[in-house]
Chains A and B, each alone.
Chain A
């Protein structure tokens, strides 16, 4: 077999073998990976909606969820709020009590902020100010929101993202939900 043909044959074989092996490993790990994603989402939703024991998606929007209590009644909605932060995107799960027009909690899903500074948006001390907060508040850092010392941009980012998402959620009026 001449040299060129051999080169092509060897490379193709290795490439095909690689593809098949990877497809196989992916099939094997996919269920577990999906489980992990679901777990993360569930933990976040239940954390921001105290009193909820289960949830379901609202409409065809994969970012809005309805939290249900033990009697299958709605306790509120949870939605994913995301936007640009200091170093990258910040993604948060926010809980809202629709009837009382206030937030019930916020947890950070992912971020790339600076450790020790912007990353402190994950801390309880920063997040708890969003519990029982009225959705009609201005959501401006250093005004109605306590910013983190040394992390002005991250604090601003969180305030802006929340403000925009909240107004969008209320506008969309996805608040029909299950009765």
Chain B
């Protein structure tokens, strides 16, 4: 149990997917200025990540490995499953929360091309996680992603009132902010020996 907790904290903070592993940068950079929308986006992504982690575990251990095709069919199999999962989540979200569905708009299908999801799926066979560990890993990654996104949204809200030179507006200042955030997260290094 304690190992699972350490895994969760390690994935969400120490090896944060966005600020340390460089996964999920595109939505991170293009993300919203509103904390609520970032939380919603993060939540949807976390859900897809948890499902993808579990799906990846099953596909790797019950299909790819037994047939010996992992080395050359893994990428195709994983990305196909991920795009199906995203479609599924879209349909579910439309049913249970049309408001959130509309708010997220184009960002929902874009979750498919979020490298954090494919990256997550690919890590699982590499690290040889069990089913439970995979699920925790997926949730931890999603929480870390949501954390990074929400912090950035909060900072962006504040930056609205600052006088940023034209050349750095938008992506420029976001990247510089991300650099400082990344330095902060480096401070978690050594918190847990992974």
Direct A–B touching in the complex (beta carbon < 8 Å)?
yes
State the A residues within 8 Å of B (CB): 15, 18-19, 22-23, 25-26, 84, 86-88, 152-153, 157
Q: A26 near B72 (CB under 8 angstroms)?
A: yes
The reply to whether B71 and A26 form a contact with Cβ atoms under 8 Å apart is yes
- Complex contacts, B189 vs chain A, CB 8 Å: 86, 153
Q: Which residues of B contact A25 (CB under 8 A)?
A: 72
Of the residues A15, A22, A88, contact of B194 by C-beta under 8 Å: A88
The reply to whether the CB of B1 lies closer than 8 angstroms to some CB of chain A is no
- A22 with B15: CB separation less than 8 A: no
Name A88's closest neighbour in chain B (CB-CB).
Answer: B194
Query: Would B190 and A153 count as touching, CB distance under 8 A?
Result: yes
| Docked CA distance A23–B190 (Å) | 42
Chain B: interface residue total (CB-CB under 8 A): 11
Q: Which of B142-194 contact A (CB under 8 A)?
A: 189-190, 193-194
Please report the C-alpha to C-alpha distance between residue A152 and residue B189 in the assembled complex, in whole angstroms: 12
A86/B76 contact (C-beta < 8 A), A23-B69, A26-B71 known: no
Chain A residue, CB-CB nearest to B20: A87
Residues of B contacting A22 in the complex (Cβ-Cβ under 8 angstroms):
72-73, 76
Can you list 12 A-B pairs, Cβ within 8 angstroms, ordered by A? A15-B80, A22-B72, A22-B73, A23-B69, A23-B72, A26-B72, A84-B193, A86-B189, A86-B194, A152-B190, A153-B193, A157-B193
Partner of A87, one of B15, B69, B73: B15
Chain B nearest CB, measured from A147 CB (Å): 14
Interface flags, B41-72, vs A, CB<8A=1, else 0: 00000000000000000000000000001011
Q: A22-B76, A84-B193, A84-B194 are in contact. List 9 more A-B contacts (CB 8 A).
A: A15-B76, A18-B76, A19-B73, A19-B76, A86-B194, A87-B15, A87-B194, A153-B189, A153-B190
Taking CB atoms, residues of chain B closer than 8 Å to A153 are 189-190, 193
Greatest chain B CB density within 10 A among A87, A152, A157 is at A87
Residues of B within 8 A of A86 (CB): 189-190, 193-194
The complex places the Cα of A27 from the Cα of B193 at a distance, in Å, of 39
Chain A proximity of B58: nearest CB distance (Å): 19
In the complex, A87→B186 CA distance in Å?
Answer: 12
Residues of A within 8 A of B76 (CB): 15, 18-19, 22
> Considering the chains assembled together, what is the distance between the CA atoms of A152 and B193 in angstroms?
11
